[in-house]
Amino acid sequence: MLSNLLSGAIGAVLGSLVSVLYVHYAERLKSRRQLAIEIIDHIEAMYNRLMALATIQIPELAEHRQVRGVSLLNDDERRQYTAEFLKLLTTYSPFVKVEILFNDSTLVTALEKLTSGFQKAFHTINNRDEFMKMLNAEVDPHYGEICRLLKSKTKGWLTLG
């Protein structure tokens, strides 16, 4: 009888411990996945605003041949997109969140390099060739690296589907 009681108590303690560890790991993985999505959304928002600022329409009419290109945004939209892009570019919260939840210097470094690449691309926005070169060399590779790192950091034995 005492052995049954002791066995039940040990089972209850072990079961509780396993349950607590499982819940802790599941919540941590869930938080990491939510942050990964938030980081990707942040990067996409910067990329979309930068591309909108860089997009021009080449005039097809003969009388406009002296004009190299006309922005698809009016002045107010251009100011708004620039302000939004700069706000996203200078926001430090993604870095802090990555440091807190992932504690991974490689991921933080990749995010810093991507932000630097966005800044360099923004400064070359009036030179189409330099802008595209900067996107290909400084933005796209770091974005791919961040996606790869986030995917590896959010996989776990709890993968559902």
Show the tokens assigned to 62: 């003969």
Confirm whether 19 is domain-assigned.
Answer: no
Q: How far apart are CA 147 and CA 35, in angstroms?
A: 12
Confirm whether 158 is domain-assigned.
Answer: no
Planar angle of CA 68, 62, 52, nearest 5 degrees = 35
DSSP 8-state symbol, 61: S
Confirm whether 3 is domain-assigned.
Answer: no
Containing domain of residue 133, as a range?
Answer: 28-153
Tell me the per-residue pLDDT of 57-110, one tens digit each, with 9 for 90 and over: 555 544 454 455 667 778 898 899 999 999 999 999 999 999 998 888 999 999
Confirm whether 72 is domain-assigned.
Answer: yes
pTM of the model: 0.77
Please report which helix (H) or strand (E) contains residue 161, including its range.
Answer: none
Q: How far apart are CA 121 and CA 136, in angstroms?
A: 10
Q: pLDDT class for 156, splitting at 50, 70, 90?
A: low
pLDDT score at 57: 54
Tokens 């945004």 appear where? 73
Confirm whether 80 is domain-assigned.
Answer: yes
Q: How far is CA 26 from the centre of its chain?
A: 22
Confirm whether 7 is domain-assigned.
Answer: no
Tell me the per-residue pLDDT of 105-127, one tens digit each, with 9 for 90 and over: 999 999 999 999 999 999 999 88
Confirm whether 20 is domain-assigned.
Answer: no
Q: How many domains does the chain have?
A: 1
